[in-house]
Chains A and B, each alone.
Chain A
Amino acid sequence: MEEEELQKAVYAYLRKKGFRQTELVLQEEQNRLSSSAQSDLAVSRLDNDPARYHDGYSKLRSWAYSSLDLYKHELLRVLYPVFIHCFMDLVAEEHMQEARTFFHTFREDHELMHLRDLQKLEGILSPSHLEEMELARSLRQNKVKIKLCEYSYDLLLQYLQKTQSVTMLGIINEHINFEVSAGQPSSISDDVDVVALVGSSQDIAKQINQKEVRWGLLEDSVEERLERPVSDSEKPEGENKEVDPEDSKQKRSVEGGKQGVSVKKLKKDKLVGATGKNIRSETSTVSIAPRVKPELTLPVMTTEVEQSILEDLRNRVQLSSLALPSISFYTFINAHNSLNCSSISHDGSLVAGGFSDSSLKVWDMSKIGRPTKTSNSQGENESVESEHLLGLEEGKRSYTLFQGHAGPVYSATFSPFGDFLLSSSSDSTIRLWSTKLNSNLVCYKGHNYPVWDVQFSPVGHYFASCSHDRTARIWSMERIQPLRIMAGHLSDVDCVQWHANCNYIATGSSDKTVRLWDVQSGECVRIFIGHRSMVLSLAMSPDGRYMASGDEDGTIMMWDLSSGRCVSPLMGHNSCVWTLAFSCEGTLLASGSADCTVKLWDVTASMKVPRMEENKASSTNRLRLLKALPTKSTPVYTLRFSRRNLLFAAGGLSKQA
Chain B
Amino acid sequence: MSIVPKETIEVIAQSIGIANLSPDVALALAPDVEYRLREIMQEAIKCMRHSKRTVLTADDVDSALSLRNVEPLYGFASGDPLRFKRAVGHKDLFYIDDKDVDLKDVINAPLPKAPLDTGVVAHWLAIEGVQPAIPENAPVEAIVAPSEIKRSEHSKEDGLPVDIKLPVKHVLSRELQLYFDKITALIVSRSDSILFKEALESLATDSGLHPLVPYFSYFIADEISRSLNDLPLLFALMRVVRSLLRNPHIHIEPYLHQLMPSMITCIVAKRLGHRIADNHWELRDFAANLVASVCRRFGHVYHNLQYRLTRTLLNAFLDPSKAMTQHYGAIQGLAALGTSVVRVLILPQLETYMQLLEPEMQLEKQKNEMKRKEAWHVYGALMCAAGKCLYERVKLFPSLLHPPTRQLWRSNGRVATKMPNKRKASTSHLLQQPPLKKLAADGPVSSIPPISMPTSMQVAADGFPTPSESGIRPSSSTGQLSNESISGGSRKERSGGKAPTPSTVLAQAWKEDLDAGHLLASLFELFGEGILSFIQPPEMSFFL
Other than A326-B126, A330-B121, give 15 A-B pairs with Cβ distance below 8 A. A123-B35, A324-B128, A326-B127, A337-B53, A353-B118, A399-B119, A408-B63, A450-B47, A494-B49, A494-B50, A536-B49, A598-B125, A626-B129, A627-B129, A633-B138
Structural contact, A370 and B52, CB atoms closer than 8 A: no
Of all chain A residues, the one with the shortest Cβ separation from B38 is A123
Inter-chain contacts of B126 with A (CB < 8 A):
324-327, 598, 627, 629
Which positions 355-383 of chain A face chain B at CB distance < 8 Å? 355-356, 361, 363, 365, 368-370
Inter-chain contacts of B34 with A (CB < 8 A):
123, 125
Q: Is there a chain A Cβ closer than 8 Å to B55's Cβ?
A: yes
| Bound form: Cα–Cα A133–B31 in Å | 14
Structural contact, A328 and B125, CB atoms closer than 8 A: yes
Question: Which of B155-163, B272-280, B384-392, B467-475 sits within the interface?
Answer: B155-163
In the complex, per-residue mask of A468-504: 1 if CB is within 8 Å of any chain B CB, else 0: 1000000000000000000000001010000000000
Of all chain B residues, the one with the shortest Cβ separation from A657 is B54
Structural contact, A370 and B137, CB atoms closer than 8 A: no
Shortest CB distance A28–B (Å): 46
Structural contact, B120 and A365, CB atoms closer than 8 A: yes
Of all chain B residues, the one with the shortest Cβ separation from A654 is B53
Structural contact, B53 and A332, CB atoms closer than 8 A: no
Q: Is there a chain B Cβ closer than 8 Å to A457's Cβ?
A: no
Which positions 13-42 of chain B face chain A at CB distance < 8 Å? 31-32, 34-35, 38-39, 42
| Bound form: Cα–Cα A649–B125 in Å | 9
- Among B46, B52, B116, B163, the residue within 8 A (CB) of A341 is B52
Inter-chain contacts of A552 with B (CB < 8 A):
49
A–B complex contacts, Cβ < 8 Å, 10 sampled: A125-B1, A125-B35, A126-B35, A326-B129, A328-B125, A336-B118, A450-B50, A598-B125, A619-B160, A623-B163
Inter-chain contacts of B38 with A (CB < 8 A):
120, 122-123
Q: How many residues of A contact B (CB 8 A)?
A: 79
B residues in contact (CB < 8 Å) with A: 1-2, 31-32, 34-35, 38-39, 42, 46-47, 49-55, 57, 59, 63, 67, 79, 115-131, 136-138, 151, 155, 158, 160, 163
Q: Which 8 A-B pairs have the closest CB atoms?
A: A324-B129, A125-B31, A123-B38, A329-B125, A327-B125, A334-B116, A327-B126, A630-B138
Structural contact, B79 and A622, CB atoms closer than 8 A: no
Q: Is there a chain B Cβ closer than 8 Å to A261's Cβ?
A: no
Inter-chain contacts of A397 with B (CB < 8 A):
117
Q: Is there a chain B Cβ closer than 8 Å to A637's Cβ?
A: yes
Inter-chain contacts of A623 with B (CB < 8 A):
163
Structural contact, B52 and A594, CB atoms closer than 8 A: yes
Inter-chain contacts of A580 with B (CB < 8 A):
none
Inter-chain contacts of B138 with A (CB < 8 A):
596, 630-633
Shortest CB distance B64–A (Å): 10
Inter-chain contacts of A656 with B (CB < 8 A):
55
Structural contact, A492 and B46, CB atoms closer than 8 A: yes
Q: Known: A328-B125, A363-B120, A576-B49. Is A632-B163 also a contact (CB below 8 A)?
A: no
Inter-chain contacts of B124 with A (CB < 8 A):
326-329
Of all chain A residues, the one with the shortest Cβ separation from B30 is A125
Shortest CB distance A365–B (Å): 6
Q: Known: A408-B51, A656-B55. Is A619-B120 also a contact (CB below 8 A)?
A: no
Q: Known: A356-B51, A468-B46. Is A97-B1 also a contact (CB below 8 A)?
A: yes
Structural contact, A426 and B63, CB atoms closer than 8 A: yes
- Among A123, A335, A452, A626, the residue within 8 A (CB) of B39 is A123
- Among A328, A398, A468, A575, the residue within 8 A (CB) of B119 is A398
- Among A324, A336, A340, the residue within 8 A (CB) of B79 is A336
Q: Is there a chain B Cβ closer than 8 Å to A578's Cβ?
A: yes
Q: Known: A468-B67, A576-B49. Is A632-B137 also a contact (CB below 8 A)?
A: yes
Of all chain A residues, the one with the shortest Cβ separation from B80 is A337
Structural contact, A129 and B122, CB atoms closer than 8 A: no
Structural contact, A578 and B52, CB atoms closer than 8 A: yes
Q: Is there a chain B Cβ closer than 8 Å to A178's Cβ?
A: no
Of all chain A residues, the one with the shortest Cβ separation from B31 is A125
Of all chain B residues, the one with the shortest Cβ separation from A426 is B63
Of all chain A residues, the one with the shortest Cβ separation from B116 is A334
Inter-chain contacts of B131 with A (CB < 8 A):
629
Inter-chain contacts of B50 with A (CB < 8 A):
340, 410, 450, 452, 494
| Bound form: Cα–Cα A616–B163 in Å | 13
| Bound form: Cα–Cα A323–B171 in Å | 13
Structural contact, B123 and A329, CB atoms closer than 8 A: yes
Structural contact, B52 and A635, CB atoms closer than 8 A: yes
Shortest CB distance A634–B (Å): 9
Shortest CB distance B134–A (Å): 10
Inter-chain contacts of B63 with A (CB < 8 A):
408, 426, 450
A residues in contact (CB < 8 Å) with B: 96-97, 100, 120, 122-126, 129, 323-337, 339-341, 351, 353, 355-356, 361, 363, 365, 368-370, 397-399, 408, 410, 426, 449-450, 452, 468, 492, 494, 510, 534, 536, 552, 575-576, 578, 594, 596, 598, 600, 616, 618-619, 622-623, 626-627, 629-633, 635, 637, 649-650, 652, 656
Inter-chain contacts of B53 with A (CB < 8 A):
337
Q: Known: A120-B42, A123-B38, A468-B46. Is A333-B120 also a contact (CB below 8 A)?
A: yes
Q: Known: A353-B118, A399-B118. Is A510-B35 also a contact (CB below 8 A)?
A: no
Inter-chain contacts of A576 with B (CB < 8 A):
49, 52, 54
- Among A328, A340, A534, A631, the residue within 8 A (CB) of B137 is A631
Of all chain B residues, the one with the shortest Cβ separation from A407 is B63
| Bound form: Cα–Cα A100–B35 in Å | 13
| Bound form: Cα–Cα A594–B54 in Å | 8
Shortest CB distance A478–B (Å): 28
Inter-chain contacts of A333 with B (CB < 8 A):
116, 118-121
| Bound form: Cα–Cα A582–B448 in Å | 86
Structural contact, B122 and A330, CB atoms closer than 8 A: yes
Q: Known: A324-B128, A330-B121, A399-B118. Is A340-B51 also a contact (CB below 8 A)?
A: yes
Inter-chain contacts of A97 with B (CB < 8 A):
1
Residue in A97, A324, A326, A330 whose Cβ sees the most chain B Cβ within 10 Å: A326
Of all chain A residues, the one with the shortest Cβ separation from B33 is A125
Shortest CB distance B513–A (Å): 55
- Among B2, B55, B79, the residue within 8 A (CB) of A125 is B2
Structural contact, A331 and B121, CB atoms closer than 8 A: yes
Residue in A331, A332, A410 whose Cβ sees the most chain B Cβ within 10 Å: A331
Structural contact, A616 and B158, CB atoms closer than 8 A: yes
Structural contact, B49 and A335, CB atoms closer than 8 A: no
Inter-chain contacts of A355 with B (CB < 8 A):
118
Shortest CB distance B211–A (Å): 15
Inter-chain contacts of A536 with B (CB < 8 A):
49
Inter-chain contacts of A398 with B (CB < 8 A):
117, 119-120
Inter-chain contacts of B117 with A (CB < 8 A):
334, 397-398
Of all chain B residues, the one with the shortest Cβ separation from A348 is B122
Structural contact, A329 and B35, CB atoms closer than 8 A: no
| Bound form: Cα–Cα A369–B57 in Å | 32
Inter-chain contacts of A630 with B (CB < 8 A):
137-138
Of all chain B residues, the one with the shortest Cβ separation from A99 is B1
| Bound form: Cα–Cα A576–B55 in Å | 12
Shortest CB distance A90–B (Å): 12
Structural contact, A534 and B49, CB atoms closer than 8 A: yes
| Bound form: Cα–Cα A356–B128 in Å | 35
Shortest CB distance A450–B (Å): 7
- Among B31, B49, B116, B118, the residue within 8 A (CB) of A96 is B31
Inter-chain contacts of B120 with A (CB < 8 A):
330-333, 351, 353, 363, 365, 368-369, 398-399, 650
Structural contact, A337 and B52, CB atoms closer than 8 A: no
Shortest CB distance A558–B (Å): 20
Structural contact, A334 and B158, CB atoms closer than 8 A: no
Inter-chain contacts of B2 with A (CB < 8 A):
125
Residue in B51, B59, B125, B155 whose Cβ sees the most chain A Cβ within 10 Å: B125
Structural contact, B125 and A100, CB atoms closer than 8 A: no
Shortest CB distance B529–A (Å): 62
Structural contact, B158 and A619, CB atoms closer than 8 A: yes
- Among B39, B51, B54, the residue within 8 A (CB) of A575 is B54
Shortest CB distance B500–A (Å): 67
